[in-house]
Amino acid sequence: MSFADVLRWLVVLLVPFASASSPDITARVKVDFYMESLCPFCGIFATGTLKNMMGEIGEIVELSMIPSGNMRPNAEGTLQCQHGPEECEGNRVEACAMHLHPDQDVWFPFVLCFEENFPENREFAARTAEKCAKLANISASDVQTCAQGPLGVELAEEMTKQTVALDPPHKFVPWVVVDGTVADTDAVPYWVCQAYKGVLPPVCSKYRPPSPGSVLRLSSTNTTKKEARVCMKKDRTRFEHTNANTDV
């Protein structure tokens, strides 16, 4: 048997093993994270559960982050953010980074860095964007030009349209949809593994279903006083976020 024949046989023998262990990118599970840049609980979810999940099973996840949250238009039709104009700017920065760099392996490190640093520097979105752009190896200037220009406004409007179109409508943020179904934030990795059609990564065995005290039980005005680490969407006259029964 020639050396070429040996190589051909090795390929035949090894390809099935490689295919079995490699994730099927065509079967990746869609995860949509509806959020806003200055909701503290969106940041906690992003830098905790979401960060860990993407580090462990990110290869089977198709992630989208929609920075709009509880934004709504005011009487003049201008978009108003729950936590003020700084949040609107932060939302545009994140939306621009994702628009300019569609690969989640590129934009996710930027947005994660922004979520970790922006709340403590809310008046310095440009400075935070520059720091995070360096980390993600993207152009801070391009992101800022987008965020401060008409494209940033267009993207903010698109993020809001996507959020308003949710069915069922969101009641608070963080609001996460896994494979088309609203999911508890404390069990998103579990639901991703449940939805994945390929060979499961071994780490999936450690994920657990949602606890009985699921935040999704906040489904009516009679239950909104339960402890919840969320920024609530209330009626059109006011915004609030709730933490341990305290409105802030």
Query: Cβ neighbours of residue 84 under 8 Å, at least 6 residues apart?
Result: 38
Give the H or E element holding residue 165.
none
- Quick one: pLDDT at residue 73? 75
**Domain assignment of residue 114, yes or no:** yes
Q: What is the pLDDT of residue 1?
A: 55
147 occurs within a structural domain: yes
Res 199: pLDDT: 95
Distance CA 177, CA 191 (A): 10
Average pLDDT, the chain: 83
- Give dist(CA 126, CA 109) in Å, integer: 17
Total domains present in the chain? 1
Asked if residue 17 belongs to a domain, the reply is no
**pTM for the whole thing?**
0.82
Amino acid 25: pLDDT: 64
79, β-bridge pairs: 73
Q: Before 168, cis peptide (omega within 30)?
A: yes
Residues of the chain with pLDDT under 70: 1-25, 212-228, 234-248
- What domain range includes position 58? 26-210
Q: The domain that contains 126 carries what CATH number?
A: 3.40.30.10
- The C-alpha atoms of residue 94 and residue 3 are separated, in whole angstroms, by 54
- pLDDT recorded at residue 19: 41
pLDDT at 175: 97
